Structure formats: structure tokens, C-alpha cells
């Protein structure tokens, strides 16, 4: 803020020197000592080249590293309070990211997210690996809508681009910060930049977070250690090589669940493992007393290793960028999604990606073209336990190999009119082999040896698609732009850990139209942007817990049919004075399934499995399945809203900076967020209908006159509002729902020191 103020005064002075008041033989008019003030320009790289946010036709929200620090963001779910319309919950230990209702439950090795998460341009395939990246960041870019041209696979809903701070040759610098708060929060973060000569620099950063759980049994805790190192070599102005390595370790109890409806009068953060909640489970007809109670034995022990490089070489006509990357994931955890004890003793993922692209950005033509390769090998063991009702262990070995070629260009036809065109061809080969065993004698002939092989599953298939983007941008004035774009997204099909007809699912596709405008008025003191969007969503992949053809409760992915997502938003920023900022955002989103049907097992050998209380949707009549003795039933959820799609979201923020006589500053910031009712899952029972909420945060930050020391105090969720983020029905005891919940009211303080 101090640097900005100096720049504003300097700019105002330069204008006075060069303006009419500089005439030599006349007395100058009295100087206007009121400093000019304008909204800062934000640079983004979401389109693979650098541009200002106001010149981008992407539906994009950007959070600076400073804003993420102020909000005490340490994991993905913390973004819910900062980005309206972004809904992040957990499924097992995996982050479930939804934008405008497009996402994925992503709770097994066979799932693939619909919102791509990239760290410094490297795609993160396993959603468990997202949480440990939120430290020493330059910014976060949240891109809404399909990004099939530049980001490709698994970006049908959008992308989260995490950009870290890079080494600098300008000199030594660094920072260290300590946050203490309730729930025994200790958050220690630091970074240091060291030049090692004229052409080499290194930057190292670390994060250590420990916090008790928000739920009564200690779950929803945070125990994390992460470190990152960048080595930059810049032998000339034309060539730079960045080599990066990082690791992260996550331990503790991990994510927890609450029961809906909970015990009467209970605290919203009462865990599903509490005696009161388990008593409700046992009393739920018809067989709740046979269901294994929810335990307080959740754990998480995950490790992530990553190595990547980025070469940038200015060849003259274009810049060559090459990014090879390797990621290693080791997962071991237990949790209770849908009230089922889900244990992953061990799961591993080895991922290799390679991207090579050429790009150039001039006033006339901005273009990028490249090739992409992705390879991932996984191995996993997973146990689903429900006492005598079910005790299954699955072993599966998925492999994915994907190739893509892409290109996109923006051509300035005139000084004010630009045309956009791009395309990407993707070919993806997916395969899986696996087997499913049971340790329960339930339903087996007497004397059957255990464990007993229930089924083997697997197969291989190739999925391909050409995604594209087209659009037009028109400058009404240098500070006012209109744009219209159409773009598509694609997510490959895949396999489930079961038998036909539920063993496979088809690709999903999304076609999006965006009409918008970027505007600045009042000498760049007022920024007003708006967008109107219409999305056509086809073969939406839903991952949900149902009875499969073997009679097992199983997490399977199926295609839901078609949906329409349409609405509009308005984004306002006002620089009221050099010391006052106002921000407001509101979005309306009508997201409805035009066609959504799926099949679930009704009975096996006459033994009923399906309970009508497990869905709020109409059901059909039973029909024979493809396996002898199995009957299926069709559930029709057409006309329902997409889960996690809020009809209305809004945010409002105001901050004021007090300039003290000593030269120090004191900034006070108040923010509020509103979200309307929404469904938490695909079963559409009334217990999954979460209430609207209002969240309020407050922070005050003192910065000394030298700008090196700062101390901040914060209160988040001042009203102690219960905000549910995901939820699934307990298949053996419907319509009970087991949901994840956001943090209660929290408070703390941060002491930070920066040096150079």
C-alpha cells in the first residue's frame, strides 16, 4: 500500500509537469495536492501469455498472494469463503471442486475431477494432492467455464491455477510469518530468495500447519508440512530455465462428517461418530440396528513428491516453452463418506506430464500452439466396511495415457476489434484391472472360505475429442470492452470397480456461451464488469453411492444425461479514495437437469435392496438386470437442480487504511458472503437440501513505517454459521445424510517480518 501511494503521488506530479500548467511565462495555478487514485491493474497468465485482467475475455477471478495470506488460506476448502460460486467439499480425503454445479465427487482412484488444478502450469491428477500448495503464492486464478483448448482433459468446469513466487536476481529477500489461533492453530510459513551470481537465483519456502479438528471427535483437523525450492538460471535475456521440487506430508485425523438430521438441539459440529448420532443411525428403519456405527478412528497419512522444470527460450518470432514434470503420490487414510467406513491402506500414483508450446504476444496477434502428453499409473487397495452387511476389499490398477495437440490465436482485425479461434485434439487411452473380495459371510453359502472373490473387473478403451473456442472482443473505448465467446470442454469416460451394466461410463461434454463486458470509469476509480452465460452440459458424469449389480454398496460413476446452466453476474470495484476500497459481486445461476436418469440394483434373487427413502426422485418399475438373479430399477431426477449449484451467490467487501503520524498504517477490512439453498448430493432427499447462509469476516492489519513488520488479527465466520459443503445418503439407512461442514467461528493473529 505504501509503494502504491508513492507511485500515485509520482504519477500525479508527472502529469502536472507535462500539462498546461508548465507554460514558461505564466504563473502556475495552485497545485492540486489531492492524490489521484485508481484501481490497480492485475496481470494474469490464464491464456498462456501475460495480459491484464481487464483485457481478458475469460470468466476469471484472481486472488493475490497477499489476499490469500490475509484470509489464512492453508487448504482448498478455505477458498469457499473467498470465491462466490466456488464450492469445495471432500469425498474421503479428496477435494471435490465445483464451479456453477460442474464438478466431480472424486473419491476414488477411478475418478477424475471436472475442474483442473494446476500448480505453475503442471496438472494435479489426484485431488488429495491439492491442499498442500497454498503457501508462498503470487496469485490464484479461478477460471470459470470449459477450458478445453488450452487446458484440455478434465477442465470441463474450469480451472484453478496456483502460481507460486519465483526466484529473483534482484537481491536477497525473504519473509517469515507465524499465525496463532483458536483450535490450537499454529501456522508457520517462510520464504527466502538468494541470488547466486548474475544469472542464478534460488528461492525456498516452507509451510508448517497444526490445528485441532473442528468436529467433536477431532476430525477436520490440519497437520501438514510442506516445502518447495525453485532454482532459476537465466544466462541471457532470451533464455531462462526454472527447476522446481517440492514435497508435502499430511497426517492427523483428516476430514470428518456430521449427520443430517442431527440430534435435536445438538451443535452443528457434533461428529457423526458421537454416541447421539450413532443412536439415531441404529434406530433408523428398517435395518439401522444392523449398520456398523461410525467410528472415531479416522486417519490420514499422505505424502507427495514433485519435480518439474520450465524452459523459456525467446527464438525471436516466438517463445518456446517446455515443461516436463513428475509427481509421486502415496495415500493411506480412513474416513466415513456416506456413513461407510472407507479405508485405503495404500494407494499410489505416478504421473508424468510433458508440454511443449510456442507463443507470441503482439498488439496485432497473440497466439499459442503446442503438444501435450500425460501418463499416470495407479495402484490402490480400498475397503468398504459395514459390519455384517458388507465388508468388501477392492484391488485396482488404473492406467491413463493421453496425447493432445492444441492452438489458439487472438487476431486484431482493427484497432478495436479482435477475433479469437482455437482448437485442441485429445486422444486418451484408459484401462483398469482389478478384483473385488468380501470378508463377510452375508449372502454366501455356509462354509464358504473367506475372503471370497466376488468379481473381477476391468477393460480398456480409447476416448478422443476435438474441443474448440471461438470469440470476438470489441473495444468501445480504451477502458471499455465487450466480448462474446463460445467454448467446449471434454472429460474422458472410464471404468467402475463392478460388473456390467455399471462397469463403464461415457465421456462428458460442455458447450458454453459467454457474453460480457469489462469497464472502467471515473479515471479508473470505478470498475464494473458483467457476464451472461449459457452452458449446455451433456452426459454429466456423476459419482455416487448406490447398490451395484452384485448387491454391494458401491461408489460408481454414471452419466446423468443433459443439463442447462444459465445466468449472469456483476462484479464491482470502487476506489473511493487512496485509503478506501469497496468490492461487490453477485451471480444468478439457474442450473437444472433436463434429463437425468440412472439405474440401481432393486433386488438379487428376490432379496430386496432398494429403499425408496434413499432418493427424492421418482422411480420406475423393476426390470431384469444383465446378471442372473439381479433386478434393476430406474431413478429419474430430471428437473432437479444440479448439486452444489447455488441460485444466488454474492459477496461484499470494504477496507480502509488509516495512515498514522509515525508513517505506519492500520488497515481494517470487513467482508460478507451470501449463498442460497442448494442440494449437497445426487440423491435429492430433503436432508440434502442445505440452507442459505451469510458469512462475515473481519481483519485488522498494522504495518510499521518501514514496511517490514506487520501484525494482523482476524475473526472468520463471525456469526458462527453452519455451512455444509457436501453430503451423501447412507445406503443402508436412508434417508440419513452424512455431510461435510465448513469451519465454525475462528480467530487468531499473525506476526510477519519481511527483509531485503
pLDDT recorded at residue 250: 95
Position 534 pLDDT exceeds 50? yes
732: left (phi over 0), alpha (psi -120 to 50) or beta: alpha
Q: In this predicted structure, what is the pLDDT of residue 36?
A: 52
How high is the pLDDT of residue 27?
A: 39
Q: Which domain, by its residues, includes 576? A: 37-755
Cα separation values, 596 from 185, 303, 321, Å: 44, 38, 43
The whole-number pLDDT of residue 23 equals 32
Residue 519 lies inside a defined structural domain of this protein: yes
- How many CB atoms are located within 10 Å of the residue 179 CB? 21
pLDDT at position 5: 37
Mean pLDDT of 498-509: 89
Query: What is the pLDDT confidence band of residue 48, given thresholds at 50, 70 and 90?
Result: confident
Q: Is residue 542 part of a domain?
A: yes
Q: Is residue 2 part of a domain?
A: no
Q: What is the percentage of the chain residues whose pLDDT exceeds 90?
A: 71
Whether 20 is in a domain gets the answer no
pLDDT tens digits for range 270-289: 999 999 999 999 999 999 99
174: cell is 525473504
Let me know how long the chain is: 756
pLDDT band at 32 (very low <50, low <70, confident <90, very high): very low
pLDDT at 156: 85
pLDDT in the model for residue 561: 86
Q: Is the pLDDT of residue 649 over 80?
A: yes
pLDDT-derived band of residue 712, with 50, 70 and 90 as boundaries? very high
Structure pTM?
0.90
Q: Which of 35-39, 40-44, 276-280 has the largest mean confidence?
A: 276-280
> pLDDT, tens digit, for every residue of 715-737?
999 999 999 999 999 989 999 99
User: Has residue 18 been placed in a domain?
Assistant: no
Of the ranges 146-155, 344-353, 534-543, which one carries the lowest mean pLDDT score? 146-155
With a cut of 90, say whether residue 19 has pLDDT above it.
no
Q: What backbone torsions phi and psi does residue 22 show, to the nearest 5 degrees? A: -90, 10
pLDDT bin (cut points 50, 70, 90) of residue 38 is confident
DSSP string, 13-41: HHHHHHSGGG-TTSPPPPP--SPP--PPP
Q: Give the number of domains in the chain.
A: 1
Residues 6+ apart with CB under 8 A from 214: 183, 220, 221, 256, 269, 741, 743, 744
Whether residue 419 has pLDDT greater than 50 = yes
Report the distance separating Cα 588 and Cα 747, nearest Å: 31
Residue 611 C-alpha cell reads as: 429403499
**pLDDT band for position 153 (50/70/90)?**
confident
Q: Is residue 131 part of a domain?
A: yes
pLDDT band at 18 (very low <50, low <70, confident <90, very high): very low
For 305-342, what is each residue's pLDDT tens digit?
999 999 999 999 999 999 999 999 999 999 999 999 99
13 assigned to some structural domain: no
**Is pLDDT of 445 > 90?**
no
pLDDT at 609 over 50: yes
Mean pLDDT of 63-71: 87
For 127, the 3-state DSSP assignment is helix
pLDDT score for 112: 80
Tell me: pLDDT of 11 over 50.
no
Residue 697 has pLDDT above 80, yes or no: yes
Q: Please report the pLDDT score of residue 21 as a whole number.
A: 34
Contacts of 380 (CB under 8 A, 6+ apart): 108, 109, 331, 344, 346, 347, 348, 394, 395, 396, 397, 398
Cβ proximity of 710 and 665 under 8 Å: no
Which pLDDT does position 106 carry in this prediction? Answer: 66
- What is the mean pLDDT of the segment spanning 346-365? 95
- Taking only the tens place, the pLDDT of each residue in 126-151 is 888 888 899 999 999 999 999 889 88
For 753, the enclosing helix (H) or strand (E) is: strand 746-755
Between these two residues, 105 and 116, which has the higher pLDDT value?
A: 116
Contact 547, 493 (CB under 8 A): no
pLDDT of residue 351: 96
Distances in Å between the alpha carbon of 411 and those of 44, 151, 228, 360, 416?
19, 21, 38, 12, 11
Q: What is the pLDDT of residue 319?
A: 96
Cell digits of residue 255: 476430514
pLDDT for res 8: 32
Compute the average pLDDT of residues 51-55.
88
User: Mean pLDDT of all residues in the chain?
Assistant: 90
For the residues 220-226, what does the mean pLDDT come to? 95
Residue 20 has pLDDT above 70, yes or no: no
pLDDT band at 675 (very low <50, low <70, confident <90, very high): very high
Residue 11 lies in a domain: no
C-alpha cell at 525: 476509480
Rounded average pLDDT over 238-258: 96
**Contact in structure between 725 and 77 (CB atoms under 8 Å):** yes
Domain CATH code at residue 659: 2.40.170.20
In the prediction, which pLDDT does 128 show? 82
Half-sphere CA count of 519, side-chain side, radius 13 A: 15
Between 705 and 21, whose confidence is greater?
A: 705
Q: Can you give the pLDDT at residue 66?
A: 87
Amino acid at each position: 500500500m505504501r509503494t502504491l501511494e508513492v507511485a500515485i503521488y509520482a504519477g500525479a506530479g508527472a502529469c502536472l509537469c507535462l500539462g498546461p500548467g508548465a507554460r514558461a511565462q505564466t504563473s502556475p495555478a495552485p497545485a492540486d495536492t489531492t492524490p489521484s487514485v485508481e484501481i490497480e491493474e492485475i496481470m494474469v497468465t490464464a491464456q498462456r501469455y501475460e495480459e491484464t485482467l481487464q483485457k481478458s475475455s475469460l470468466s476469471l477471478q484472481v486472488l493475490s498472494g497477499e489476499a490469500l495470506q490475509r484470509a489464512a488460506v492453508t487448504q482448498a476448502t478455505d477458498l469457499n469463503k473467498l470465491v462466490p460460486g466456488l464450492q469445495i467439499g471432500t469425498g474421503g480425503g479428496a477435494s471435490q471442486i465445483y464451479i456453477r454445479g460442474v464438478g466431480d465427487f472424486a473419491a476414488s482412484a477411478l475418478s477424475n475431477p471436472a475442474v483442473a488444478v494446476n500448480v505453475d502450469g503442471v496438472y494435479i491428477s489426484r485431488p488429495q494432492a491439492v491442499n498442500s500448495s497454498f503457501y508462498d503464492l503470487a496469485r490464484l486464478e479461478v477460471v470459470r467455464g470449459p477450458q478445453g483448448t488450452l487446458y484440455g482433459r478434465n477442465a470441463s468446469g474450469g480451472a484453478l491455477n496456483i502460481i507460486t513466487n519465483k526466484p529473483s536476481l534482484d537481491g536477497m529477500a525473504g519473509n517469515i510469518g507465524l499465525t496463532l489461533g483458536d483450535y490450537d492453530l499454529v501456522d508457520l510459513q517462510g520464504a527466502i530468495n538468494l541470488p547466486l551470481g548474475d544469472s542464478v537465483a534460488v528461492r525456498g519456502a516452507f509451510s508448517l500447519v497444526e490445528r485441532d479438528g473442528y468436529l467433536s471427535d477431532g476430525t477436520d483437523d490440519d497437520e501438514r508440512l510442506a516445502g518447495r525450492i525453485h532454482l532459476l538460471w537465466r544466462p541471457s535475456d532470451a533464455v531462462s530455465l526454472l527447476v522446481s521440487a517440492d514435497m508435502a506430508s499430511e497426517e492427523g485425523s483428516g476430514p470428518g462428517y456430521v449427520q443430517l438430521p442431527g440430534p435435536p438441539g445438538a451443535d452443528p459440529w457434533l461428529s457423526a461418530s458421537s454416541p447421539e448420532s450413532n443412536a439415531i443411525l441404529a434406530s433408523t428403519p428398517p435395518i439401522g440396528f444392523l449398520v456398523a456405527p461410525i467410528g472415531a478412528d479416522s486417519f490420514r497419512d499422505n505424502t507427495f513428491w514433485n519435480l518439474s522444470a520450465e524452459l523459456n527460450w525467446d527464438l525471436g518470432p516466438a517463445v518456446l516453452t517446455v515443461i516436463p514434470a513428475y509427481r509421486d503420490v502415496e495415500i493411506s487414510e480412513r474416513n466415513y463418506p456416506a456413513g461407510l467406513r472407507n479405508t485405503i491402506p495404500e494407494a499410489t500414483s505416478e504421473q508424468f506430464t510433458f508440454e511443449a508450446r510456442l507463443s507470441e504476444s503482439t498488439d496485432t496477434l497473440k497466439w499459442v500452439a503446442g503438444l501435450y502428453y500425460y501418463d499416470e499409473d495407479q495402484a490402490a487397495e480400498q475397503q468398504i466396511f459395514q459390519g455384517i452387511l458388507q465388508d468388501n476389499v477392492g484391488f485396482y490398477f488404473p492406467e491413463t495415457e493421453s496425447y493432445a495437440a492444441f492452438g489458439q490465436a487472438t487476431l486484431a482485425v482493427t484497432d478495436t476489434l479482435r477475433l479469437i479461434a482455437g482448437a485442441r485434439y485429445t486422444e486418451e487411452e484408459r484401462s483398469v484391472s482389478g478384483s473385488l473380495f468380501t470378508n463377510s459371510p452375508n449372502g454366501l453359502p455356509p462354509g464358504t472360505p473367506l475372503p471370497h472373490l466376488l468379481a473381477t473387473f476391468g477393460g480398456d478403451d480409447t476416448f478422443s475429442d476435438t474441443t474448440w473456442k471461438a470469440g470476438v472482443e470489441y473495444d468501445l473505448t480504451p477502458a471499455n470492452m465487450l466480448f462474446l465467446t463460445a467454448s467446449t470442454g471434454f472429460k474422458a469416460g472410464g471404468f467402475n470397480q463392478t460388473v456390467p451394466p455399471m462397469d463403464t461410463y461415457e465421456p462428458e461434454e460442455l458447450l458454453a456461451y459467454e457474453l460480457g463486458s469489462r469497464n472502467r470509469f471515473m479515471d479508473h476509480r470505478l470498475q464494473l464488469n458483467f457476464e451472461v452465460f449459457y452452458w449446455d452440459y451433456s452426459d454429466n458424469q456423476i459419482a455416487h453411492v448406490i447398490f451395484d449389480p452384485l448387491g454391494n454398496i458401491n461408489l460408481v460413476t454414471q452419466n446423468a444425461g443433459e443439463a442447462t446452466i444459465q445466468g449472469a453476474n456483476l462484479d464491482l470495484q470502487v476506489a473511493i479514495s487512496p485509503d478506501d476500497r469497496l468490492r461487490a459481486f453477485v451471480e444468478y445461476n439457474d442450473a437444472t437437469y433436463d434429463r437425468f436418469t440412472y439405474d440401481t440394483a432393486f433386488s438379487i434373487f428376490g432379496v430386496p435392496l432398494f429403499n425408496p427413502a434413499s432418493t427424492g426422485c421418482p422411480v420406475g418399475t423393476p426390470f431384469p438386470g444383465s446378471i442372473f438373479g439381479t433386478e434393476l430399477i430406474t431413478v429419474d431426477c430430471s428437473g432437479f437442480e444440479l448439486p452444489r449449484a447455488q441460485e444466488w451467490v454474492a459477496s461484499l467487501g470494504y477496507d480502509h487504511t488509516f495512515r498514522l503520524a509515525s508513517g505506519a498504517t492500520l488497515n481494517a477490512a470487513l467482508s460478507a458472503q451470501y449463498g442460497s439453498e442448494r442440494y449437497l448430493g445426487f440423491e435429492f432427499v430433503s436432508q440434502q437440501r442445505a440452507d442459505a447462509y451469510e458469512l462475515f469476516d473481519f481483519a485488522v492489519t498494522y504495518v510499521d513505517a518501514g514496511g517490514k513488520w506487520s501484525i494482523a488479527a482476524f475473526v472468520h465466520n463471525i456469526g458462527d454459521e453452519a455451512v455444509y459443503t457436501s453430503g451423501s445418503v447412507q445406503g443402508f439407512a436412508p434417508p440419513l445424510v452424512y455431510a461435510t461442514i465448513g469451519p465454525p467461528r475462528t480467530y487468531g493473529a499473525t506476526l510477519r517480518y519481511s527483509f531485503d
